[in-house]
Structure 1
């Protein structure tokens, strides 16, 4: 890295002795291990040049130690004017400095922080100072006249754009899935001023938007008029109940047939085994084909 000034510096400023002097000054400033190879010379004027040495510091790739050597004339020794650490052409450097009021972003203000507005803030316009009469001041404050500055047209439009595109605007995920919009919700409270045509404040504590400025076309599932269909959403198998009534009659006492049997009435042979009681009842009635049950040893 070499620059050519209008007047060429004295040759003694670029010889080996000058390089050794500059390196020694750089090592004294940075330490022996931090100064690398000689990488260039920059001519300041006819009496001074700056010798550049590679900086071997972690995180300082591309930086150079710069030692400026000067010469006062014949018969005078070389001297070192200053030693500094400078970035090279491919060095990693911090971005250009930006004033603090331009670096502040939304959400940076913390508890106890002060953030004064700029005198020429385009979002603000001059207001109108009220009189010393308390009654007049009360009315003036309601009308926005008692403040030194109020929102300018640019400030109103900037706020509207920011709120419209925010989390509580009409394009948010919540709004796109809502059954209705805030403009028809009982919890929606309009704000004063020109912004009230499109914005209000949510007063439903059960929603994420509670206490926030919301767009009139924003919406959520807690709309005041939302309705949910009754019944279970889980399908249930249809059940069929048989409520038919069965007629049940008890057997007549003493036989198979109510009222007994008359002499000569035919009795069908039972399909299965007939009990001794039924057989005896049929025989006593004189039913043909029915033999009396044999008596046991006791004669019964």
Structure 2
């Protein structure tokens, strides 16, 4: 299979990349692990391809007490090795295979907005954001905006980015004090997209009460986020009830791999497991 014809652009700086996007109707190439197969299968046919791999300054990641900001060209494997954020690191280990993680980018996965992908769920459950840039023709310079996760994922394979915008970074907030995180998923084969998955963040207070939040993959038009709020001192029965709330919030579809009922059942099982594991980690962090 071969991609449809397109005009290739290889800007050397951010300004040139943004000006190109402002002038043409094109797709951005970073890691290419999603875009290239779509081109080859003729699922996408852009007239222009804007390769940002030569743009300086987009490959760095910055770690602060507030969280981790990942640049547009930071590869999955690089961010995984840095281990700067526990939930992000866990999710990256679940992304496809090492050869894909060596080339694919964290921000590219977010922009691709696949509802079965792990990283959109991580950004959503943490309440993170994506920084987008466009070229202001009148002002003669770039204009930045920060798009929160709840507004960024518009639908399946659709983000809130405008056609002239470039996602330059993504911000993953740090876990609150006394928090634990977990990511659980089930796939037919190692490296496949998950039939269903759940990531959870549980914060254990000084009084032993837990506050929980979960996000699901593969069971909705985008990451399905459930804020479980203050759960009190949770025991086994409590996690089962909380997992039921997560399960009921999903709306999976049936396909050749699994029925909707099976996916919904998986979400309940995985949610309980993720919540319990995250709570155990949070209690250890709290010293309880």
Class of the TM-score when normalised by the shorter of the 2 chains:
under 0.3
Q: Which has the higher contact order (CA 8 A, sep 6+)?
A: 2
**Greater strand percent: which structure?**
2
- TM-score, normalisation: structure 1: 0.19
**Greater helix percent: which structure?**
2
- TM-score, normalisation: structure 2: 0.19
Larger Rg: 1
